[in-house]
Amino acid sequence: MATKKFVCKICGYVHEGETAPATCPLCGAPASQFEEIKPKGLLGGKDSNAYIILYSVVMVVLVAVLLAVASMSLQKRQYENALNEKKQQIVTALGENPEQVKYGDVIAESALIDKEGNIIADKSEEDVFEAMKNLKGSIAEGVYPIFRTADGSVVVPVYGAGLWDAIWGYVALAPDMNTVKGVVFDHKGETPGLGAEIATPKHQAKYVGKTIYDGEQLVGITLKKGGAKESDSTFAHEVDAITGGTKTSDGVTAMLQTCLNNYKPYFDAVRNAAAASEEALSNALNTENNEQ
Amino acid sequence: MSSKSLKYLTEPLSNSNPIIVQILGICSALAVTVQLKPAIVMGLSVMVVTAFANLVMSLLRNGVPSRIRIIVQLVVIATLVILVDQILKAYVYDVSKQLSVYVGLIITNCIVMGRVEAFALGNHPWASFLDGIGNGAGYASILIIIAFFRELFGAGSLLGFRVIPESWYIDNGGVYANCGLMLFPPMALILVGCIIWVHRSFNKDLQEK
């Protein structure tokens, strides 16, 4: 059996044995001045390894539980916020005020289309917004979200790279799949006052009425350095670039070019169908005229 | 409230202000002060984090093994910051988008860590809590002053409301233009310098000999 330890309160002498010594061999203090040194508890004090490990484990578990609960209870709200923002931007792209017009009032249907421009069957609105959540990944996979209004206008999301980080937005096209009804751009970290100007209504208003097709070629919209000039033959596909934000402007140009071209098969199909029905209509009219 | 507790609150506002006297937390002071609204939210977030980090660490101070106390502090601060970030995302989504990474970076804000290490580990919970509030408020007040000037002269608005009339601008036939430099972080640093200058000229005891 281990012996007990006693320390003299006067001089600090430590005696080992079953009981305290009658007098202290160093300073001569009586036994009453001796105090037993109790062995430390199971964990052996605040600075022992066992205590530190136990402390860390308990702390980490507590924190993990706390954060998990917070994250789960707020997740729904956060997701709704993100979703709501997307819907508002879609409404804004169509030139409506999102505070007055709800997403559900203008968008009649949402769909995913593939590289050939065919609508992928059996996709609910939730699936579309799921694809929107990771737009970059969806585009890489060849799945493109599209939103259609009752009158045949469409809104397509675009995604690209600005000067510093990602830029994205929505382009609304009139039923002719050529005229821009409106655009909305947003960015992660473009320079405030320069590149970040792409997110301002002032810049975005310039796109309204521009056309993305030059003949059969889908050219998108170019942000022209030095300003778009009416005398140029390409004026219909150009807007002013951002002063001092050339790289961001180039990024927007490239984004519109690539992303809109993803939808080209679909746009072409709609345009051809429209042309065909027009032709059929005029043919019918002609026949009628001939008969008369 | 006793005069001593009051001192915990008021001291960091001026004489030991974290930004202009201790020169801590400069990074975020430059980054989130382009507009007033994010600056206010950032200031409040830092205040909440310093106050509660101080409170929690002060409650734990007798049980924390000194060898891992810095790690424990980091865990406590990081937890609080994540909670603040989650709450901002859920309830003020647009502001949380503007603050983006800077809320997460409160974890590395020297003010929080500094107050926990220097004050909370050696003081009672209530005093520590007040000290946290005081330092957060000291930080927030400087952010708000800087953001006020940057938004006013950089964008001509305050809290998003137009202050300088549109008709003054050169674009609309006036003579005024926004100061583009105000929108960039270096100007915030210059403003911090100006505030320190003004502050020290009123507080002679802070001036170095």
Same domain? For A23 and A166 the reply is no
* Minimal CA separation from B178 to chain A, in Å: 10
Interface contact flag, B68 A55, Cβ < 8 Å = yes
Residue A148 lies in a domain: yes
Interface contact flag, A63 B75, Cβ < 8 Å = yes
Please give the helix or strand (H or E) that residue B97 lies within, else none.
Answer: helix B93-99
Same domain? For A101 and A234 the reply is yes
Residue A41 has pLDDT above 60, yes or no: no
Contacts of B62 (CB under 8 A, 6+ apart): none
Token couple for A195: 């590149």
Residue B177 is classified by DSSP as -
Q: How confident is the model at residue B130 (pLDDT cuts 50, 70, 90)?
A: very high
Residue A7 has pLDDT above 90, yes or no: no
B79-103 pLDDT, tens digit each? 999 998 898 888 888 888 777 677 8
Residue A158 confidence (pLDDT): 92
Residue A66 lies in a domain: no
Sign of CA dihedral B35, B36, B39, B41: negative
Q: Tell me the sheet residues that pair with A123.
A: none
Per-domain residue ranges of chain B: 17-203
Same domain? For A162 and A264 the reply is yes
A93-133 pLDDT, tens digit each? 888 888 788 888 888 888 888 888 888 877 788 888 888 88
Q: What percent of chain B has pLDDT over 90?
A: 27
Residue A254 confidence (pLDDT): 93
Mean pLDDT for A180-208 is 86
CB-CB: which of B34, B65, B79 is closest to A66? B79
Interface contact flag, A77 B87, Cβ < 8 Å = no
Looking at B45-192, which runs of residues are DSSP E strands? 157-158, 161-162
Same domain? For A133 and A13 the reply is no
Q: How many domains does chain A have?
A: 2
Q: Are B142 and B148 spatial neighbours (Cβ–Cβ below 8 Å)? A: no
For residue A14, the enclosing domain spans: 4-36
Q: Is B194 helix (H, G, I), strand (E, B) or coil?
A: helix
d(CA B147, CA B40): 9
Q: Which of A109, A195, A115 is nearest to A150 (CA)?
A: A109
Mean pLDDT for A255-282 is 87
Least confident of A37-51, A211-225, B14-28: A37-51
- Give the chain A residue whose CA is nearest to the CA of B31: A192
Residue A242 lies in a domain: yes
Q: What is the mean pLDDT of chain A?
A: 85
Reading phi first (left if > 0) and then psi (alpha if -120 to 50, else beta), residue B170 is in alpha
Sign of CA dihedral B79, B83, B85, B86: positive
Sheet holding A154-161: strands in order across? A107-113, A144-149, A154-161, A166-173, A180-187
Q: Which of A192, A207, A201, A197 is nearest to A249 (CA)?
A: A197
d(CA A174, CA B39): 40
Residue B128 confidence (pLDDT): 92
Residue A132 lies in a domain: yes
Interface contact flag, A192 B183, Cβ < 8 Å = yes
| Interchain CB contacts (distance < 8 Å): A and B | 58
B8-64 pLDDT, tens digit each? 888 888 888 888 888 888 888 888 888 888 888 889 989 999 999 999 999 988 888
d(CA A145, CA A130): 10
Same domain? For A123 and A258 the reply is yes
Residue A2 has pLDDT above 80, yes or no: no
Residue A4 has pLDDT above 70, yes or no: yes
Residue B101 confidence (pLDDT): 73
Contacts of A239 (CB under 8 A, 6+ apart): A206, A207, A210, A221, A222, A223, A224, A228
Interface contact flag, A193 B79, Cβ < 8 Å = no
Residue A173 confidence (pLDDT): 92
Residue A288 confidence (pLDDT): 66
Residue A17 belongs to a domain with what CATH number?
2.20.28.10
Same domain? For A142 and A224 the reply is yes
Residue A42 has pLDDT above 70, yes or no: no
Give the phi and the psi of residue B73 in degrees, each rounded to 5.
Answer: -60, -45
Least confident of A20-34, A66-80, B181-195: A20-34
Q: What is the mean pLDDT of chain B?
A: 86
Residue A119 confidence (pLDDT): 85
Same domain? For A119 and A194 the reply is yes
For B28, other C-beta atoms within 10 Å of its C-beta total 25
A221-258 pLDDT, tens digit each? 999 888 888 888 888 889 998 888 889 999 999 999 99
Q: What percent of chain B has pLDDT over 70?
A: 99
Least confident of A134-138, A282-286, B202-206: A282-286
Same domain? For A15 and A150 the reply is no
- Burial classification of residue A240, based on how many CB atoms lie within 10 Å of its CB (0-12 exposed, 13-18 middle, 19 or more buried): middle
| Reported ipTM | 0.74
> Distance of CA B45 to CAs A156, B49, B51, B109, Å?
37, 6, 10, 12
- Give the chain B residue whose CA is nearest to the CA of A54: B65
Length of chain A: 292
Residue A57 confidence (pLDDT): 93
Residue B143 confidence (pLDDT): 92
CB-CB: which of A59, A71, A81 is closest to B75? A59
Q: What percent of chain A has pLDDT over 70?
A: 94
